[in-house]
Amino acid sequence: MASNLRILVPVKRVIDYAVKPRINKAQTAVETAGVKHSMNPFDELSVEEAVRLRERKAQPVEEIVAWSAGPAKAQDVLRTAMAMGADRSVHVQTADGPAGELEPLGVAKMLQKAVEEEKSNLVILGKQSIDDDANQTGQMLAGLLGWAQATQASKVEIKDDVCTVTREVDGGVETLRAKLPMVITTDLRLNEPRYASLPNIMKAKKKPLVKKALEDYGVDIKARLKTVKVAEPAQRQGGQKVEDVDGMIAKLKELGAL
Amino acid sequence: MFSTVRNTALRQARTQLRSVRPISLPHQSFVARLLSTLAVLEQREGKLNPGSLAAVTAAQKLGGPVTAFVAGSSIKGVADAAAKVKGLDKIIFVDNGAYDKGLPENYAPLLVENIKKGGFTHILAGHSAFGKNLLPRVAALLDVSQVSDITAIESEDTFVRPIYAGNAILTVQSSDPIKIITVRGTAFPAGETEGGSAQLEEGVDPKADSPTEWVSEDLAKSDRPDLATASKVVSGGRGLKSKEEFDRLMPPLADALGAAIGASRAAVDSGFADNSLQVGQTGKNVAPQLYLCAGISGAIQHLAGMKDSKVIAAINKDADAPIFQVADVGLVGDLFEKVPELTEKLKAQ
């Protein structure tokens, strides 16, 4: 008999994707104070997919738990996840700013504990967060748990404990199959995340949100990587315009591109 | 006596290193003594993937001996091809069809065993679908952090990588005993595939089971150059309005230039082009000699994937489109007129 799905959805609060990040004067970090933040776009896809698995009813979903490690304001993204359909949340509070930043390995270790606590049998993460662009946490978690992994998923079907996942690879797609439990990371084409409606946003305020401290997990999250410098990328000397196609060809030849 | 001289020379070299970038001496000497790199190469149906040789190029920049790793069925041919790649000392091969599809569930334990056996300090692979899927799992099994998608190497433990969609460049120093790294292919172009003479050595095979089963694949077939490594790329965006127009305008232009075809996320989402053609933060990173785009406004997520191109040319009807801020050559005009005209004039050359 198919087991009920107990889905854990880790979400991360990041600088909004539409904001152009600024680097601080000391070149130690990207300026985050007073900058608009929102849920990592790939994590919205994760929440949406979890909710859709429930709505599709191919296999019963017992619970969807959203989880985030971040500063106090990370609760906002957990509320968003609950407004989209997650049942409850766990928030692990970290310090504000760069001091509170965790490495994917540390997050994966905490998630391993969270999976045990919540008795999850499916974890859906975004394929990468758009701030550090690491693309690691899901794979690391799967490794620590010894579970099957399907990264960069563009289609997920689960029936009778069997997950069939289509994933985006270089040059096309491939399809994998594995039995639960499993770690899946989402790619852009997986779905179109819903907007949280006002009534659902109001309801989400009443859903349970458990607060935890880093120490509660008892794992080694010591940083292995040290930021030496954060710098602006080299600026391009763009902006030259030509009048017509002939001008474009001439200029490209001049630049040695043709 | 000789050893004294050598020690002094070493100490001097270290002192110099420290004056540039202060790090602790014991750590430095540890790394200097043991530095040995494993480059994980990709194979597909018995053929070495030349794109994965970026890992070799990056490995050579570290200094120290470089070993390459390949695994799959009938792997001997791949190992022989890898042995000819310049700059490699040794090829470790594991002949087992279970590794053909690069499933990380069994490939990661396989790598871990061979890393431990060989005592490698640096493990490098391309930041491709294969490398991204596999290496973090390896890192977790070894309890080390990973440094993803590096674009430069400053020293054995210090690496440069873009963050925030390339809007910031992070220099990061790793304190882990084993450095697990994925490299950006466009930043470390593949070296020579002839002239090398590495030794072949059979690796250990722990034969771990994979809970995941590979079912099928559907790869876009194309006679054009591979997008990630092409020297010229033509790319279309939302401005093309439909798949019909995309297919009518872009392939002839690509053919006139001998270029690969790319697309913006908007074009892919609208169904004008296949997903695998997407250029940007969430698609492919390209850095060709020429990136010629039409109907692309230049959102930061798109720029992230192409702004290291040598020459960027853009055709867009909106003179204020952000793409013109990075384009070396910009043409303001209707792409439905300009692209065919450009194609004709290029063909006539």
Alpha carbon of residue B156 to chain centroid? 19
Is B299 part of any known ligand binding site?
yes
Say which residues have a Cβ less than 8 Å from residue A100's Cβ, sequence separation at least 6: A70, A71, A94
Tokens of A251: 């200029």
pLDDT of residue B20: 45
How far apart are alpha carbons A136 and A45 in whole angstroms?
Answer: 17
Q: With residue B15 as reference, give the H or E element that holds it.
A: helix B2-20
> B112 with B197, same domain?
yes
pLDDT 10s digits, B104-135: 999 999 999 999 999 999 999 999 999 999 99
Tokens 């004039």 correspond to what residue?
Answer: B345
Which burial class, exposed, middle or buried, applies to A26 when counting CB atoms under 10 A from its CB (0-12, 13-18, 19+)? exposed
Any domain includes B291:
yes
Quick one: what percent of chain A has pLDDT higher than 90? Answer: 92
Closest by Cβ to A225, choosing from B138, B173, B269: B173
Written as one letter, the residue type at B279 is: V
B264 marked as binding residue? yes
Query: Is residue B317 a part of any domain in this protein?
Result: yes
**Residue of A248, A251, A254 to mutate when probing chain B, most B C-beta within 10 A:** A248
Residues B186 and B247 in one domain: no
Number of domains in chain B: 2
In a domain, B41, yes or no: yes
Rounded to whole angstroms, how far apart are CA atoms A170 and B218? 11
Instruction: Identify the pLDDT of residue B349.
Output: 84
The whole-number pLDDT of residue B61 equals 96
**What distance lies between CA B23 and its chain's CA centroid?**
29
- Given this model, what pLDDT does residue B220 score? 80
- Chain A: give the shortest CA distance to residue B6, in Å: 31
Query: What would the pLDDT profile of B18-74 be if each residue is shown by its tens digit?
Result: 444 444 444 444 445 579 999 999 999 999 998 899 999 999 999 999 999 999 999
For residue B6, what pLDDT is reported? 52
Is residue B137 within 8 A of residue A217, CB to CB? The reply is no
Task: Tell me the mean pLDDT in the region B301-307.
Answer: 94
pLDDT (tens digit per residue) in A95-141: 988 888 999 999 999 999 999 999 999 999 999 999 999 999 999 99
pLDDT digits (tens, 9 = 90+) for B263-275: 999 999 999 999 9
Which phi and psi (to 5°) does residue A148 adopt?
-70, 150
What was the pLDDT predicted at B7?
A: 52
- SS3 of residue B344 by DSSP: helix
CB A139 within 8 A of CB A182: no
Contact yes or no for A77/A13 (Cβ under 8 A)? yes
- The range of the structural domain enclosing residue B62 comes to 37-202
Q: Which of A148, A188, A249 sits opposite B105 (nearest CB)?
A: A148
Where are chain A's structural domains?
Answer: 5-255
Same domain membership, residue B153 and residue B298: no
Q: Is B4 within the bounds of a domain?
A: no
Is B279 labeled as ligand-binding? yes
**Buried b / exposed e along A45-56 (16+ C-beta atoms within 10 A):** bbbbbbbbbbee
Contact in structure between B266 and B286 (CB atoms under 8 Å)? no
Instruction: Report the alpha-carbon angle A98-A102-A103, nearest 5.
Output: 120
Subunit contact B218:A141, Cβ cutoff 8 A: no
Angstrom distances, CA of residue B264 to CA of A143, A233, B276: 33, 22, 11
Residues of A in contact with B167 (CB under 8 A): 20-21, 233
How far off is chain A from B67, nearest CA to CA, in Å? 24
Mean per-residue pLDDT over chain B, rounded = 91
Q: Mean per-residue pLDDT for B229-238?
A: 95
Structure tokens at A44: 């919205």
DSSP assignment letter at A62: E
Of B328 and A236, the structure prediction assigns the larger pLDDT to B328
Q: Is B273 helix (H, G, I), strand (E, B) or coil?
A: coil
- CB B42 within 8 Å of CB B102: yes
Please list every residue in chain A whose beta carbon sits closer than 8 Å to the beta carbon of residue B158: 228
**Helix H or strand E segment including B311:** strand B311-316
Which stretches within A57-173 are classed as H helix? Answer: 74-84, 104-118, 137-145
pLDDT, position B222: 79
Asked whether the beta carbons of residue A150 and residue B212 sit closer than 8 angstroms, the reply is yes
Collect all residues of chain B within an 8 Å Cβ-Cβ radius of residue A231: 168-169, 171
Q: Output the pLDDT for position B12.
A: 53
Name the average pLDDT for chain A.
96
Nearest in space to B40 (alpha carbons), one of B147, B144, B131, B157: B131
Clarify whether residues B184 and B140 are in a common domain: yes
Q: Are residues B141 and B252 in the same domain?
A: no
ipTM, interface predicted TM-score of the complex: 0.95
Strand partners, B163: B168
Q: Which CATH class is domain A5-255?
A: alpha beta
**Greatest CA separation for chain A:** 69
Q: In this predicted model, what pLDDT tens digit does every residue of B77-86 receive, in sequence order?
A: 999 999 999 9
Alpha-carbon dihedral A32, A36, A42, A47, rounded to 10 degrees: 120
Q: What is the CA radius of gyration of chain B?
A: 23
d(CA A67, CA A88): 9
Distance from the B85 Cα atom to the nearest Cα atom in chain A, whole angstroms = 23
The Cα–Cα gap between A86 and A82 comes to: 4
Q: Using one digit for the tens of pLDDT, what is the confidence trace for A16-75?
A: 999 999 999 999 999 999 999 999 999 999 999 999 999 999 999 999 999 999 999 999
CATH of the domain at B136: 3.40.50.620
Helix (H, G, I), strand (E, B) or coil at A12: coil
Q: Which of A12, A21, A71, A1 is nearest to A46 (CA)?
A: A12
The closest of A144, A138, A120, A107 to A223, measured between CA atoms, is: A107
Q: List the one residue out of A99, A70, A68 whose CA is nearest residue A86.
A: A68
In a domain, B224, yes or no: no
B133 shares its domain with B85: yes
Q: What percent of chain B has pLDDT over 90?
A: 83
Cα–Cα distance for residue pair B302/B323, rounded to 1 Å: 9
Cβ contact, residue pair B148, A239, below 8 Å:
no
